[in-house]
Amino acid sequence: MKNTININELNARIASGRIKATRHPDLDLTIYNYTKRTQYDSLWDEYTKMCRGLILDSDGEIVARPFKKFFNLNEVPETKIENLPNRKRLGYPTFSEKYDGVLGILYPEKKLSAISTRGAFKSEYAVWATDWIRKKGFSMDDFWEGYTYCFEIVYPGSKIVIDYGERSELILLAVLNNNGKDELDYIREAQQLGFSYAEEFPFTEIDDAINWLKDFKGDEREGLVMKYDTGLRVKIKSDDYRRIHKILTGLSARDIWESLKAGQSLDLIIAIAPDEMYDSIRSCEKDLTTAKDALMTKAQGVAQEASSLTTRREQAEYILNHAKPISGAVFALIDGDGKKATQLIWQALKPDFELFKSSEF
């Protein structure tokens, strides 16, 4: 029985900017990936979660179905500690290494094995990984049909935070059934095929795993993936890794302010920010916008009162007594220059250049 996806549903989400589709340059294949805007605005549903490198042919048949989107511990309701599966009934989760590389997805280029990343067939990382797996002599006959092999692409050119030195290989993370319901023992599969694989650790308590991560610097280990028999996966990233990632990204409240002041969307900022920073960005955007609206309302009220006075001197005295920090904006409103008033309001809200604190994650 074929495993298919409703392409009409995907196209509707493509049209609304929630999913991006990329055609293979030579084959009848398309890769689907959720957009940064979907992440930032939390536009998650069955289809956007599924599209994390989903590969289909033109009939909607699944060629590769990698991990659906999964979240950090306590990031969304389903990953809050109090909502995690009951261990007494459903068993303990497994804890495996989370690598700081790039997701690689096995798919067939005819009989040849090939690797895509979650948004591209021919990205720099995909080209490197495809070359690597072919040089190792693997063809699609070596892998179980109807399953998607998910790898971490690790080589010097894929470095984000953690330096793996000269390590250059594909590390097997999982082997998922294209029906979306079950998966193979990836460690046994890796051992039979000769791949490295994500190491598992014998934790039974989440707190033990979190405390263990504290023994490592953020440039030594990213974190862990917790997996339940229900299929639920949860990311646990170390605080120090997130701190370093945030520093490398270099985002500050002033970056958000500058975009809002210029009337620009935050898409460019969202594009370079790790998803752990989205709450901080959203909070900063909301605080700045709320403060701007409040100051504008005040400026408009003072301008209305000042406009009833006869002379500019009287108006100035009233404005300085009631709204000195935003007096320029009030005068601009009296003169009918709303655009200038808005810019002066934004200028009054200019934040210090301070990177988001790690406690904000």
Instruction: For residue range 145-202, list pLDDT tens digits in order.
Output: 999 999 999 999 887 788 888 999 999 999 999 998 899 999 999 999 999 999 999 9
- 59 lies in the same domain as 70: no
137 within domain boundaries = yes
Residues 23, 84 within the same domain: no
Same domain membership, residue 347 and residue 312: yes
Task: Residue 111: give its domain's CATH number.
Answer: 3.30.470.30
Residues 128 and 13 in one domain: no
Q: What are phi and psi of 146, to 5 degrees?
A: 85, 5
Last residue of a domain, one of 211, 242, 273: 242
Residues 35, 24 within the same domain: yes
User: What per-residue confidence (pLDDT) applies to 79?
Assistant: 93
Contact 229, 168 (CB under 8 A): no
Any domain includes 230: yes
pLDDT number for residue 356: 47
Residues 53 and 177 in one domain: no
Is there a domain that residue 55 lies in?
A: yes
Domain-located, residue 73? yes
On whether residue 248 sits in a domain, the answer given is no
- Which string of b and e fits 77-107 if b means at least 16 CB within 10 Å? eebeeeebeeeeeeeebbbbbbbbbbbbbbb
Shared-domain flag, residues 69 and 198: yes
Q: Could you tell me if 14 and 148 lie in one domain? A: no
Same structural domain, 86 and 54 = no
Task: Give me the pLDDT at residue 33, please.
Answer: 96
Which of 63, 92, 112 is a domain's end point?
63
Question: How many domains in the chain?
Answer: 3
- Whether residue 310 is contained in a domain is answered as yes
Examine the domain organization and report whether 209 and 291 are in the same domain.
no
Domain that holds residue 231: 64-242
Q: Say yes or no: 86 and 206 in one domain.
A: yes
The reported pLDDT for the residue numbered 305 is 93
Instruction: Decide if 166 is inside a domain.
Output: yes
Last residue of a domain, one of 187, 218, 242: 242
pLDDT of amino acid 360:
29
Tally Cβ neighbours within 10 Å of residue 209: 18
Q: Does 98 lie in the same domain as 183?
A: yes
Residue 310 pLDDT: 87
Does 179 reside within a domain? Answer: yes
- For the chain (length 361 residues), average pLDDT per consecutive 10? 87 96 96 92 94 94 95 91 77 89 94 94 95 96 96 89 90 95 95 96 91 86 91 89 70 84 81 73 88 94 92 92 92 93 92 49 24
